[in-house]
């Protein structure tokens, strides 16, 4: 990215003859682009979210289906992902996957549009096409894999595993810092579960081992998420089935856990995923910066309260282009957590009870992902304001009234990008349970943060002997 001084100082020193006459057109464009976006993305989708969070999924789907302009908006990716979620919850797995496949290609083919980026520097980042957060794009594959499994197509689910592996490698190559979200333990865990279900125990062992490493090295430090107890059990079982008996002994000692080989009893496995609550929504926060001018035109944007300082080496002319400006307001995105009603859950079948283990804290991943790039977000926002202020000063020299209007419209246009995938769960918990073949009644016990049971839900699982069945269940309740 070019320096701030280039944008302030590098544009023409004067309007060309008749340039001032073109300013009203620029103002009108700016106004048209800015005013419709005054509400956050969540507020713009309020009707859909009211139905979704109330559990009225059919009505939520109708709202999405009735949005005739969705394909022409710059939030098309989010529309497709929301369609995928609601149709999975309605049990239409093929239709859900059609939407997710389209979302996958849209996210995979996204390229920087320099026209959009230039316009964003004049208006705000909402005018660009939404390309998705890295963790959001990974979750597309999770939902697709679940859909294929529910349709009985493990081969297609394994294709999603390979896509996941490619995406994870790209993410690791992109971010080298150990303090960033660059590896996803839950995704590796999911790959292990699917390989396991397909009878590929060697690849299952490798995926489980990779997941364990990332939980212990990254997730515990960045998100406070420890390696799930179920992962340890699955890793031991995969090592045993692969014949890696030295690895069995190694991990038994490491986990202080004894692996008990299963007896062939004609039973099947159930892998149960619980989607708890709803992930965070993006909102907007304003930060005020003081402009401190130094010798030779150097400029510092300073916020002492947050300990932020952005030095900008600029010429005196570039500094003068900022006019008498002393204080500026910058609009930045922030995540707002929607705390789930329930803290944990247990799954019961007859006398058998299984704890659900936390596998993915999407809320924590989202916050970390935004924090990782906040310095860049702030710098871009300051650049945007500096460009507008420099333009305003030059317009004022041609026409003071139009310059004042430009400044007003620019202040209205200063908004953060509040778009994100808001139908993702707050967190995903899971467990494995061995069940007899056929239909088995289950009880899902939902537990409050104080340890009391809040609700008990009755479910059913269909299992086949010697096979693994996958189920997922979403409770959307949250306290916000």
Q: Delineate the domains of the chain, giving CATH numbers in brackets.
A: 38-182 (1.25.40), 290-324 (no CATH)
Measure the CA angle with vertex 212, ends 210 and 214; round to 5°. 70
Per-residue pLDDT of the chain (480 residues; tens, 9 = 90+): 344 433 333 333 334 444 445 554 555 455 455 555 566 777 778 899 999 988 899 999 999 999 888 888 889 999 999 999 999 999 999 999 999 999 999 887 655 565 666 666 666 777 788 889 889 999 999 999 999 999 989 999 989 988 888 888 887 777 767 778 888 999 999 999 999 999 999 999 999 999 999 999 999 999 999 999 999 999 999 999 999 999 999 999 999 999 988 776 789 999 999 999 999 999 988 888 887 777 666 777 888 887 878 776 555 555 556 656 677 788 889 999 999 999 999 999 998 999 999 999 999 999 998 988 888 888 888 877 777 777 777 777 777 777 777 777 666 677 888 899 999 999 999 999 999 999 999 999 999 999 999 999 999 999 999 999 999 999 997 766
Going 108 to 114 to 115 to 121, the CA torsion angle's sign is: positive
State residue 16's pLDDT score.
44
State residue 128's pLDDT score.
83
Q: Tell me if 230 sits within 8 A of 347, measured CB to CB.
A: no
CA distance 161 to 236: 21
Look at residues 59, 147, 52 and name the one whose alpha carbon lies nearest to residue 424.
52
Q: Tell me if 328 sits within 8 A of 15, measured CB to CB.
A: no
State residue 153's pLDDT score.
93
Could you tell me the pTM of the whole model? 0.85
Virtual CA dihedral for 106, 110, 113, 119, nearest 10 degrees? Answer: 60
Q: Chain-centre distance of CA 380, in angstroms?
A: 21
Going 108 to 186 to 434 to 275, the CA torsion angle's sign is: negative
Instruction: Return the H-helix or E-strand segment holding 336.
Output: strand 327-336
State residue 399's pLDDT score.
76
Residue 476 φ/ψ, nearest 5 degrees:
-95, 0
At 170 the three-state DSSP class reads helix
Look at residues 368, 297, 379 and name the one whose alpha carbon lies nearest to residue 332.
379
State residue 34's pLDDT score.
52
Going 11 to 16 to 20 to 24, the CA torsion angle's sign is: negative
Look at residues 201, 107, 80, 97 and name the one whose alpha carbon lies nearest to residue 156.
97
């Amino acid at each position: 990215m070019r320096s701030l001084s280039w944008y302030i100082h590098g544009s023409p020193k004067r309007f060309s003859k008749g340039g001032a006459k073109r300013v009203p057109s620029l103002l009108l464009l700016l106004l048209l682009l800015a005013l419709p976006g005054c509400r956050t993305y969540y507020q713009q989708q309020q009707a859909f979210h009211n139905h979704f969070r109330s559990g009225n999924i059919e009505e939520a789907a109708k709202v999405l289906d009735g949005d005739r302009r969705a394909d022409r908006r710059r939030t098309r990716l989010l529309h497709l992902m929301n369609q995928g979620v609601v149709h999975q919850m309605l049990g239409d797995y093929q239709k859900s996957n059609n939407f997710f496949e389209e979302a996958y290609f849209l996210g995979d083919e996204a390229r920087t549009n320099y026209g959009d980026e230039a316009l964003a520097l004049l208006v705000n980042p909402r005018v660009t096409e939404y390309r998705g957060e890295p963790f959001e794009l990974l979750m597309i594959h999770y939902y697709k894999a679940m859909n294929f499994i529910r349709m009985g197509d493990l081969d297609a689910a394994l294709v999603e595993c390979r896509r996941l592996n490619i995406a994870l490698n790209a993410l690791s190559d992109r971010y080298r810092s150990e303090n960033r979200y660059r590896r996803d333990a839950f995704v590796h865990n999911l790959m292990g579960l699917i390989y396991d279900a397909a009878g590929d125990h060697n690849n299952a062992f490798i995926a489980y081992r990779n997941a364990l490493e990332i939980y212990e090295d990254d997730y515990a430090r960045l998100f406070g998420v420890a390696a799930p107890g179920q992962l340890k059990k699955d890793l031991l079982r995969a090592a045993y089935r692969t014949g890696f008996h030295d690895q069995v002994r190694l991990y038994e000692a490491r986990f202080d856990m004894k692996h008990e080989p299963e007896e062939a009893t004609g039973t099947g496995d159930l892998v149960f995923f619980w989607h708890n609550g709803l992930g965070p929504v993006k909102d907007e926060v304003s930060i005020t910066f003081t402009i401190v001018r130094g010798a030779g035109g150097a400029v510092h944007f300073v916020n002492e309260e947050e300990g932020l300082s952005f030095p900008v080496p600029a010429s005196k002319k570039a500094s003068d282009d900022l006019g008498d400006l002393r204080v500026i307001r910058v609009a930045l995105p922030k995540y707002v957590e929607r705390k789930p009603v329930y803290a944990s859950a247990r799954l019961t079948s007859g006398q058998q009870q299984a704890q659900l283990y936390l596998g993915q804290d999407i809320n924590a991943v989202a916050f970390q992902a935004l924090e990782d790039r906040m310095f860049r977000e702030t710098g871009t926002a300051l650049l945007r304001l500096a460009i507008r202020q420099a333009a305003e000063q030059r317009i004022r020299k041609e026409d003071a009234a139009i310059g004042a209007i430009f400044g007003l419209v620019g202040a209205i246009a200063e908004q953060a990008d509040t778009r994100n995938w808001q139908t993702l769960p707050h967190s995903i918990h899971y467990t494995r349970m061995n069940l007899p073949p056929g239909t088995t009644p289950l009880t899902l016990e939902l537990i409050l943060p104080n340890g009391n049971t809040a609700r008990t839900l009755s479910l059913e699982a269909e299992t086949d002997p010697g096979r693994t069945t996958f189920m997922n269940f979403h409770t959307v309740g949250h306290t916000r």
